[in-house]
Structure formats: C-alpha cells, structure tokens
Amino acid sequence: MFTWHRFLAVLIKEFVQMRRDRLTFAMMIGVPIMQLVLFGYAINSDPKRLPTAVVSAEASPFARSFVRALENTDYYRVVAQPRTVAEADALVARGQAQFVINIPEDFSRRIQRGERPVLLVEADASDPAATGPAVSALATLNLRALDNDLTGTLAAQKAGPAPFEVRVHRRYNPEGITQYNIVPGLMGVVLTMTMIMMTSIAMTRERERGTMENLLATPVTPFEVMLGKIVPYILVGYVQVAVILLAAKFLFQIPMVGSLLLLTGVVVLFIAANLAIGFTFSTVAKSQMQAMQMTMFFFLPSILLSGFMFPFRGMPVWAQWLGEVFPLTHFLRIVRGILLKGSGVAEILPSVWPLALILALVSVAAMRRYNRTLD
C-alpha cells in the first residue's frame, strides 16, 4: 500500500541527487532560457540592412535618388562604392557585400530622353532566404524612386511606365534552390555534432570503466593523450565528408565549382577544433550523460547562430558577435564559398584564421583542464 513516509523518503532522495548533479540541473534551466532568448530575439527570417556595394559610372541626381530610395527600403545598406566591377565582385566573393548596384554612365541622359535605361542589381543568392525579401522590394522601386526628380518637362513620365528598368542577376544560385545552401552546410552540422559528442564521451567512458587509472600509470603525456584521442576521429570525419560530398553531387546535383583539395585541407582544421572542444567537455563532465548534455547545449546555439537555419545577417549585432564564437559559423562560409562561389585561398582566409584561433584557445584550455583532472 501507498505510504507517505516512503514517498517522502524517495522524494527527498531525488532532490538531494539533483543538488549533487548541478551540471544537469543547470542544463534543465539553461536550455529553455537559451531557446527563449534565441528564438525571441536573435532569429529573424526577414534580414534588413544587407551590405551593398554601388558601382556608379556617374554622379547624377537620378543615381543618388535611386541609391537613397534603395536604402529607404531598409533592406540595403551601402558599405562600399568601388570604382570597378572587379572590385565589387571581390567584395561579393569574400562575403563583404550581398548586393552590387551597377549604374551605367548614360543613366540620367537616357531617362531624360525617355529610353528607360537598365539598372543592374547583382545579388549573392547562395542563401536564397537572405536575399529573397530584399529582391522582392525592388519590384516597384523603379516606379517611385525618382518622383522628386521628375519635374517640369519630365513630369509626364510619372503617368507612363517606369522611367528605368531594374534587372536582377542572382549569382551562384540563379534558380534559388534551397538545397544549394542547405546541403553544403549539413557537412558542418554533422561534423559538429558527431565530433564533439564522440570525443567528449571517449574520455568520460575511460573514467566510468575505470581504465583511466591504467592510462595515467603509463608515461603518456597529456598532449599525447589528447592527440591520440583526436586523430582517429579525424579519419572518421573525413569519411563523413566523403559521404556528404558524394550525396551532394549525385543525389542533389550541388554545383562544386571550387577546389575540393582546398576544402579537404580546411576540413581538418574544422574537425580538429570540434574535437578539441569535445575533449574539453570530457574534462568537465563526470559521466557520459553529462558529456552528451554539454554537447547538445553547445550544438543548439551553433546551428541557430551560425547561419545554417536562419540568415546570419538577419540577427541583431549582439547575436552575430556571439555566433562568431562558434567554429560552425566560419566553416559554413568556407564550404559554401568554395563549392558555390569557387572561392580561393584569398577569399576564405578571413574565415580560416578564426578557426585556427579557436583551435589554439580550446586546445590550451583542454590541456589545462586535463592536467587539473590528473591532479
């Protein structure tokens, strides 16, 4: 029969256990708070103020009025005014500009003649979700951008068709296929989840099974232990990369215009950074369950703040700064740049050195934590 004293004894015992397992209790409180903050404030599927480069062959009032109307839509933010198209293309290749506005040299003269000149807008469409709303805002912009300039003898043009035509060129993904953006990103997501989880569990398993004492009795240094735990999973990571690339090529027909050799060279840096993070988690966790909890606590903001699921530039500034901490953010820029844009070493270098820095910092932290664990 049910008795209150036995029930209360079990209840008190569980509260005592929860107090002892502070990491699990912190996860139970921290995960809902983190989800609430990220989904409520950081996630935005309608990015605004996207970086835009303007290549203008003339400094006419008509050109300035169009640029001003473009910024008034709140979707565009002029960050550069390169002199040549080649300089603008370099900004797009490095990810420093999402759009390029090309204003021809005879733009104002042809408007005055009623010839409806063509104004070219080039969009980095490697992420269709980021550029879609901004491109849609261009649909009627040519109808009202020059209202204050079409006066006097030009006022009659307001009653007719638009005084100029806006032609959009979607680069890297002309058809706006979502798989072109998602499938390369899955490479980073899969590697992040598996590499961190497997490494963090590997060390905690040693302690749970009692084999850590045997490992400590050997003359193996902490660096040799960490390296020995990491290298096998680097090989496993390359197997995963090969499977994903084959599936991307033959199942989803993802274009691979860049160097696969360059990609495989950068992958080892990304895998090593994630393995070092997992090794650090293993020095903190006391059980495999805690190691998995810490992995998921790290994995959730990684996929939300890295630009994999939601446009990176759609997040507030504080969320973008936080997203720069995660290796996945930089790797997504690298893999999408190489596969879709054909980026070379110069274009991906701004994303490579943060990965190297993260690897160095986390490795130092892992070694310090491991030495403290030995003591």
pLDDT of residue 213: 66
Whether residue 70 has pLDDT greater than 70: yes
Whether residue 139 has pLDDT greater than 70: yes
Q: What angle do CA 186, 187, 193 make, to 5 degrees?
A: 85
The closest of 345, 321, 354, 355 to 93, measured between CA atoms, is: 345
Whether residue 216 has pLDDT greater than 80: no
Whether residue 210 has pLDDT greater than 60: yes
pLDDT of residue 279: 84
pLDDT of residue 373: 53
CB neighbours of residue 230 within 10 Å: 21
pLDDT of residue 24: 67
Whether residue 27 has pLDDT greater than 80: no
For residue 122, what is the DSSP state? E
Residues 6+ apart with CB under 8 A from 52: 70, 76, 77, 78, 79, 97, 98, 99, 100, 101
Mean pLDDT for 162-176 is: 86
Whether residue 121 has pLDDT greater than 70: yes
pLDDT of residue 327: 93
Give the chain's mean pLDDT: 84
pLDDT of residue 338: 92
Q: pLDDT: is 114 or 1 the higher one?
A: 114
First to last CA, the chain: 50
pLDDT band at 53 (very low <50, low <70, confident <90, very high): very high
Mean pLDDT for 125-133 is: 85
Tokens 């009025």 belong to: 65
- Residue 127: strand pairing partners: none
Mean pLDDT for 42-56 is: 85
Mean pLDDT for 199-227 is: 73
- Dihedral sign for Cα 177, 179, 180, 185, please: positive
The closest of 100, 84, 109 to 135, measured between CA atoms, is: 100
Q: Would residue 49 be called left, alpha or beta, if left means φ above 0 and alpha means ψ between -120 and 50 degrees?
A: left
Which helix (DSSP H) or strand (DSSP E) does residue 52 occupy?
strand 50-56
pLDDT of residue 324: 92
Domains of the chain and CATH, by start = 50-171 (3.40.1710.10), 178-374 (no CATH)
For residue 121, what is the DSSP state? E
pLDDT band at 220 (very low <50, low <70, confident <90, very high): confident
The closest of 100, 123, 120, 105 to 164, measured between CA atoms, is: 120
pLDDT of residue 25: 67
Q: Using CA atoms, how far apart are residues 229 and 200, in angstroms rounded to an integer?
A: 10
pLDDT band at 356 (very low <50, low <70, confident <90, very high): very high
pLDDT of residue 358: 92
pLDDT of residue 330: 93
Mean pLDDT for 243-252 is: 89
Mean pLDDT for 119-123 is: 90
Q: Can you read off the two tokens belonging to residue 273?
A: 């950074």
Summarised one tens digit per residue, pLDDT across range 294-313 is 888 888 889 888 888 888 88
| Residue length of the chain | 375
pLDDT of residue 357: 93
Please check whether residue 121 is in contact with residue 169, taking contact to mean a CB–CB distance below 8 angstroms.
Answer: yes
Q: Using CA atoms, how far apart are residues 375 and 370, in angstroms rounded to an integer?
A: 9
